[in-house]
Amino acid sequence: MGALGAVVCVAAAVVMCVAAFLPYTGGNWGDGLLTGNEVPTQVTMSIVSGSDVWFVLGTVVTLGFVAASHLGGVRRRATGFIVPAASLLSLGLALKLPGTWKQDGVAYGEPYLLFAGFYAFLAGAVTAVIGALLMVVTGFVGSSPKAKTPMHPSPS
């Protein structure tokens, strides 16, 4: 069951990496000085075009790498602590990033829009948290002490 959680986390990390390249948010923003029949320009932004790209992708790649390490049996206790932290950080980023761009939309008096990249990234982050919880729960269940076997044979 812990392997299932690690597989879920790796798949979620892949989804979030793909979502980083999709249009994330945007709006009909211009310079605020529309004249005549001029329409505001449609602006879309993705995570890779933002200033937080290295932090976001670093978190997601770390999540995927550590979950794959857990799947491979490398330092399962350490990865069991790192994966939940990285997945919660990814979820926090998914919820926080649109708010950082919302200020541009408010400044121009236009609503900001959320696109497919936001929803894919959010779904991947929620899935990663679920997979990390599976890893943690199965880690605690699987860490119960084993019954000791007697050192001497039983009488026959």
In a domain, 136, yes or no: yes
Contacts of 121 by beta carbon, 8 Å cutoff, 6+ apart = 15, 16, 19, 20, 24, 47, 94, 97
pTM comes to 0.76
In a domain, 72, yes or no: yes
Instruction: Give tens-digit pLDDT for 62-74.
Output: 999 998 988 888 8
The pLDDT score that the predictor gives to residue 76 is 74
Average pLDDT of the chain to the nearest whole number: 79
More confident residue, 45 or 111: 45
Instruction: Give tens-digit pLDDT for 10-32.
Output: 999 999 999 999 988 876 655 55
Give φ, ψ of 27 to 5 degrees. 180, 180
pLDDT category at 80 given cuts 50, 70, 90 is confident
In a domain, 60, yes or no: yes
Domain that holds residue 49: 2-25+43-142
The pLDDT score that the predictor gives to residue 152 is 63
**In Å, how far from its chain's centre is CA 135?**
16
In a domain, 38, yes or no: no
Q: Which tokens belong to 27?
A: 């709006």
Average of per-residue pLDDT across 4-9: 89
Number of folded domains that form the chain: 1
